[in-house]
C-alpha cells in the first residue's frame, strides 16, 4: 500500500509519517530530506541555480541513501551522514528555490517512485499525491496555522543550537508557502481525492490515530 501525505512546511508531515510507518511496519521515505540533501550540496559548491548544465552535472555526482540508526532514519549523501546539516537555517531558506528546478525534481521523483515500487510505503512531501504517487491508495493533506507551524520549527532550531526569533520564522514560513504554492513545476496543491486534516490542535499521537482510521477505512472499502 502507498500512503501519500502532503502539506505545507512544518505541518507535521514528517513527524507523523515516521510514527505511522513504524506502527504499520511500512517503509518511511522522507522526500523533504532528499530535497534538503540536494540543496545542501548545491550550497556547499555554490551552484548557480540558473546554469542547467552545471546543475545536471552536479546531480550526477549526488548519491542519496537512507540508513536507520537507533530507530531513526538518517540521510546519507555519498556515504556521509548529513541528517543534521540538512536542517540548518541556510538550507531551510534555500530549499524551495532548489526544489523548483526541473532537473532536481525529475531526478528525485524518479528516485522516490523507484523506492516506493518495492515497499509498502508512507511518503510525505508537497506533491506526493499529485505528482510522485498519483495512484496512492491513501492521500492526506495536512494543515496547521502559521503560528503553530512556526512554534514547531522554533523547537527544531533550538534543539540544533541555532538562534532565530518566532516572528522571523513566521515570515519565513509565509514566504515558503508562497513559493511552494506558486512554483511552475509541481506546486503545493491538495490532490482532488486527498482527505484534509488540520493538525493545529492535535498532538502527534492524535494525528497518527486519525491517519490510521483513514487507512483502515480505505482497506475496508
Known binding positions for ATP: 7-15
**How many CA atoms does the CB half-sphere of 153 hold within 13 Å?**
28
Reduced to 3 DSSP states, what percent helix, strand and coil does the chain have, rounded to the nearest 5?
A: 55, 15, 30
| Binding site listing | 7-15
Q: In 3-state terms, what secondary structure has residue 30?
A: strand
CB 33 within 8 A of CB 161: no
Q: In DSSP terms, which residues pair with 81 in a beta bridge?
A: 76
Q: Across the chain, which distance is largest between two alpha carbons, in Å?
A: 51
* Angle of helix 102-116 versus helix 89-99 axis, rounded to 10: 90
Q: DSSP per residue over 5-20, as a string?
A: EE-STTSSHHHHHHHH
| Cβ neighbours for 26, distance < 8 A, ≥ 6 positions apart | 1, 3, 20, 119, 120, 121, 122
Amino acid at each position: 500500500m502507498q500512503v501519500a501525505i502532503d502539506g505545507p512546511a512544518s505541518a507535521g508531515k514528517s513527524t507523523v509519517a515516521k510514527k505511522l510507518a513504524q506502527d504499520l511496519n511500512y517503509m518511511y521515505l522522507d522526500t523533504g530530506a532528499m530535497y534538503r540533501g540536494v540543496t545542501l550540496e548545491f550550497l556547499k559548491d555554490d551552484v548557480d541555480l540558473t546554469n542547467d548544465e552545471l546543475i545536471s552535472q552536479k546531480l550526477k555526482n549526488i548519491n542519496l541513501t537512507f540508513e536507520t540508526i537507533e530507530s531513526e532514519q538518517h540521510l546519507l549523501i555519498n556515504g556521509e551522514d548529513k541528517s543534521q546539516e540538512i536542517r540548518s537555517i541556510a538550507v531551510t531558506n534555500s530549499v524551495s528555490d532548489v526544489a523548483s528546478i526541473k532537473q532536481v525534481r525529475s531526478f528525485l521523483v524518479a528516485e522516490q517512485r523507484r523506492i516506493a515500487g518495492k515497499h509498502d510505503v508512507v511518503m510525505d512531501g508537497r506533491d506526493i499525491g499529485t505528482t510522485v504517487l498519483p495512484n496512492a491508495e491513501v492521500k492526506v493533506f495536512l494543515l496547521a496555522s502559521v503560528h503553530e507551524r512556526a512554534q514547531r520549527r522554533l523547537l527544531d532550531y533550538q534543539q540544533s543550537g541555532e538562534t532565530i526569533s518566532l516572528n522571523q520564522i513566521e515570515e519565513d514560513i509565509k514566504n515558503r508557502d508562497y513559493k511552494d504554492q506558486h512554483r511552475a513545476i509541481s506546486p503545493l496543491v491538495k490532490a482532488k481525492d486527498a482527505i484534509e486534516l488540520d493538525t493545529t490542535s492535535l498532538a502527534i499521537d492524535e494525528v497518527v490515530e486519525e491517519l490510521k482510521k483513514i487507512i483502515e477505512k480505505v482497506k475496508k472499502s
